[in-house]
Chains A and B, each alone.
Chain A
Amino acid sequence: MRSVWAIALLSLRTAVRSRVVIGLLSILVLGVIGIPLTVKSDGTLAGYVQILVRYTLGFAMGVLLLATVWAGCAAVASEIQRKQIHLLVTKPVSGAQLWLGKWLGLVILNTLVLAVCALVTYGLLRWNTRAGQLNAADAQKLAGEIMVARARVPPAPFAVEQRVKERFAELQQRGELPTNMPPTAIYQALFTAAQVETHTVAPGGKITWRFALPAACERAPAFQLRYNLAAALQAPLNIRGRWVVRRERGGEACEIAADHPAQGQHSLTVPGTALAGEGALLVEYANVNQEGLSLLFDTQTGLTMLVPVGGWLSNYLRALLISDCLLALVAALSITAGSLFSLPVAAFVVFQLLIMFSTAGMIHSLATREAGFVAALPDMVRTTGWLSEAVSGFYRGLEVLIMPMQNDDPLAMVATGEWIAWPVVAWTFAKQIVVTSGLLLLVAVAALRRRELALPTE
């Protein structure tokens, strides 16, 4: 362990003395101080917190990622290039110790820099919202709505699959399936149509969602409903509705009238004390507009329930831990790339992988949707040829590869007051540090063992 620490310390010194890393860190300092001063928010408190937390720390993360890629690739590759590794590997140091030492050095550096940025950001936030800076209403809003950690509970999805399958079979039986479209595309179109149908509230009609609350949210003092109306079939200035929230097993109901413009995101607060009993919540929306107006809730983000479950500061800490895990994973990836390739090649490979990983969300969505549609098709049309199978297999493989990078943006979550649970931190740690970085360590050890470090071409 002593040698691992020695290499970690040396790795830290090397990074601190690297001109590239110093340049990037200087940009980081300028950004953390400059962004809150130069970027204008939308004038709201929530907007200010978003700018400060999401953009400032997001910028810091971006710079740290660049610095980590460079320092990580150089950690082994430039030592091989400068032959300094000859003195290292002729000492009783295994490949795993060498890798761990380099990785630990970078992780410590990243953690320190991120901690400083986070402290500065939090200090600025507290200083600019200190007593006397805000009026009473804003101060209350900051404490009760902005600097909070709320769990986001989605409603149970509407069961549309059976309806889509039946519709598909009906069209097939009648021979009305379009011949110029692949079956998955037809299924997807039917699925979208069914979703729109279930999310539309006709004039005088109702729509009901069911929310199964996690145990931690059962006794919350208040619930916030956040909803988006995708479009109104006609667009008057304001639309009116009536929300009714009650327990599934019965009890008192809480009724709230809504009157607001159709577009944008809306929220309303339901006091927890108004809802007696336990168990799932039923939320009903009644369209009471007089103008014969149909309303469409967004099929993806139509309605979400936010329940306060913890303090903002601990949520901030968890967001930083998840961000640090990502930096540690990038450090592992870069060091392994540096163990396999020369410095420029390693940096190029890592950047390519990062670009691919940055599209992880989209690929995941494509993979799951495609796989879902294929699985949902009736047996008789499921065989879609080797090309479709190959594409589907490619997406599934890609999904496995990018799995470690599939995180919601923790800084965006904390900036909007969305709760990050400890199990999420533990899961991120397990998949990004234990499993993925562990696998990268094995790859690097195998490469270092196989590689001759004193070849004339090195």
Chain B
Amino acid sequence: MPVVEARAVTKVFRDFWRRPKVRAVDGISFEVRRGEVFGLLGPNGSGKSTTLKMILGLLHPTRGQLAVLGRSPREVRAKARVGYLPEESYLYPYLTPDETLDFYGRLFDLNAQERKQRTAQLLEMLGLQHARHRTVGEFSKGMARRIGLAQALINDPDLVVLDEPTSGLDPLGCRQVKDLILTLAKRGKTILVSSHQLADVEDVCDRVAILYSGRIQAMGSVQSLLEDTHQCRVTFPDLPAASMARLLAAFRDALGTEPGIEHPRRDLEQFFLDVVEKARRAGGESSGAAPTQGVAAYLKTPARPEDALQQLLPQAAAAPAGAPPTATPEAQAAALREADEKLQQLLKPGSGT
């Protein structure tokens, strides 16, 4: 069952006299599958925020069907498993981060101990533990955004809806949020991101839908949409001039034209992060958010038995996407068998999980 399912969803905004004014979303259909990071891309006014708001029950579709976790988005039970970060941080400015997270934790019926633990872990994860007694109204936009993100995760949600998650964040904050999205995805959470920061979407999303004028213009995996199968790129270390000349001659013979050659550039984001990291090591201080501290422990703990498999495979979970396995095939097979056995134990009726 898809986590989000939209079938021919249309949203028409009407004026005071109920006359149609704007068709913000026009018959879109898509599915967000469990455990994937799905991106809604589009320029301003393309309908992505309206779509998100319909998924959250804040707006009602004019036509079509929408289901979140198999229920109507307006059902209270569906909302218990959803976390939402809005485009702006609509927080109460007179509350401290502690009070804010405690308040939203109460809305999810978490007990006092759980709220306290999760608040501490989230603030540590987002580097805000030093500002926990300041009111949110005093925060910079980036810091308020982090609190917004923390409240979206307080309930350990199955579906995390992020509207422009990197808006207002500095490159360091952007990187941290993107890392967090990837970590949450590894943990088995489904993430729906709306953004017009194309690089951010490219970095984190498994699949994207590009909207324009309320309609889906393109949809698919990032890889399939961006791959140019008519060109190849070969990367190798810098070679001595003679070796390079031989290599170029071979390419020339094969292609019949002159190949393009250039030195690869680091991207600006990575360069910036390196500079900041050096400065930090040199002892520089900032009044903003501190460096993030991994992931909140409760977010690492599997909420459902079927998530246990991923947690029981530490090597696989720790390795970045595409990285070569560090364990031998025999060790991996043994670990998989062990994990499978543990999973079967967990899924047995009366196992208490």
State the A residues within 8 Å of B (CB).
2-3, 5-7, 9-10, 13-14, 17, 82-84, 86-94, 449, 452-456
Residues of A within 8 A of B92 (CB): 10, 13-14, 84
Partner of B90, one of A3, A84, A93: A84
Residues of A within 8 A of B79 (CB): 90-93
Contact call A89/B108, Cβ cutoff below 8 A: no
B300 interface residue per 8 A CB criterion: no
Residues 146-172 of B, flagged 1 when their CB comes within 8 A of A and 0 if not, give: 000001000100000000000000000
Contact call A84/B91, Cβ cutoff below 8 A: yes
In the bound complex, how far is the Cα of B80 from the Cα of A452, in angstroms?
Answer: 20
| B: number of interface residues (CB 8 Å) | 29
B106 interface residue per 8 A CB criterion: yes
Given contacts A87-B90, A453-B58, contact A13 B95 (CB under 8 A): yes
Partner of B13, one of A2, A5, A10, A455: A455
A151–chain B nearest beta-carbon distance, Å: 47
Q: Can you name 13 A-B residue pairings with CB atoms under 8 Å?
A: A2-B109, A6-B103, A6-B106, A7-B107, A10-B92, A13-B94, A86-B86, A90-B57, A92-B107, A92-B109, A449-B74, A453-B58, A454-B59
In the bound complex, how far is the Cα of B76 from the Cα of A3, in angstroms?
Answer: 13
Contact call A90/B76, Cβ cutoff below 8 A: no
In the complex, what residue of chain A is closest to B84 when comparing beta carbons? Answer: A90
In the bound complex, how far is the Cα of B100 from the Cα of A84, in angstroms?
Answer: 12
Cβ-closest 8 pairs across A and B: A6-B106, A454-B58, A92-B80, A91-B107, A454-B53, A92-B79, A83-B90, A90-B84
B193 interface residue per 8 A CB criterion: no
Residues of B within 8 A of A5 (CB): 106
In the bound complex, how far is the Cα of B306 from the Cα of A296, in angstroms?
Answer: 91
Residues of A within 8 A of B109 (CB): 2-3, 92
Contact call A90/B94, Cβ cutoff below 8 A: no
Main secondary structure of the interface of B (DSSP, over half): loop
Contact call B57/A89, Cβ cutoff below 8 A: yes
Residues of B within 8 A of A9 (CB): 103
Contact call A3/B106, Cβ cutoff below 8 A: yes
Contact call B106/A2, Cβ cutoff below 8 A: yes
In the bound complex, how far is the Cα of B58 from the Cα of A456, in angstroms?
Answer: 11
In the bound complex, how far is the Cα of B59 from the Cα of A90, in angstroms?
Answer: 11
A133–chain B nearest beta-carbon distance, Å: 45
Contact call B60/A452, Cβ cutoff below 8 A: yes
Residues of B within 8 A of A94 (CB): 76
Given contacts A87-B84, A90-B58, A454-B53, contact A6 B90 (CB under 8 A): no
B79–chain A nearest beta-carbon distance, Å: 5
Partner of A452, one of B59, B95, B108, B151: B59
Given contacts A2-B106, A92-B76, A456-B13, contact A87 B86 (CB under 8 A): yes
A11–chain B nearest beta-carbon distance, Å: 11
Partner of B77, one of A10, A90, A92: A92
B298 interface residue per 8 A CB criterion: no
Residues of B within 8 A of A6 (CB): 103, 106-107
In the bound complex, how far is the Cα of B70 from the Cα of A27, in angstroms?
Answer: 54
A95–chain B nearest beta-carbon distance, Å: 9
> Given known contacts A7-B107, A86-B56, A455-B59, what 8 new A-B pairs fall within 8 Å (CB)?
A2-B109, A6-B107, A9-B103, A13-B92, A17-B94, A84-B90, A89-B58, A92-B109
Residues of B within 8 A of A84 (CB): 90-92
Residues of B within 8 A of A87 (CB): 84, 86, 90-91, 104, 151
In the bound complex, how far is the Cα of B88 from the Cα of A10, in angstroms?
Answer: 20
Residues 80-101 of B, flagged 1 when their CB comes within 8 A of A and 0 if not, give: 1010101010111011000000
In the bound complex, how far is the Cα of B166 from the Cα of A133, in angstroms?
Answer: 72
In the bound complex, how far is the Cα of B100 from the Cα of A88, in angstroms?
Answer: 12
In the complex, what residue of chain A is closest to B77 when comparing beta carbons? Answer: A92
Contact call B104/A91, Cβ cutoff below 8 A: yes
Residues of A within 8 A of B103 (CB): 6, 9-10
CB proximity to A under 8 Å, residues B108-124: 108-109
Contact call B90/A90, Cβ cutoff below 8 A: no
Residues of A within 8 A of B77 (CB): 92
In the bound complex, how far is the Cα of B163 from the Cα of A29, in angstroms?
Answer: 46
In the complex, what residue of chain B is closest to A82 when comparing beta carbons? Answer: B90
Contact call B108/A91, Cβ cutoff below 8 A: yes
In the bound complex, how far is the Cα of B94 from the Cα of A452, in angstroms?
Answer: 27
Residues of B within 8 A of A3 (CB): 106-107, 109
A19–chain B nearest beta-carbon distance, Å: 12
Residues of B within 8 A of A17 (CB): 94
In the complex, what residue of chain B is closest to A5 when comparing beta carbons? Answer: B106
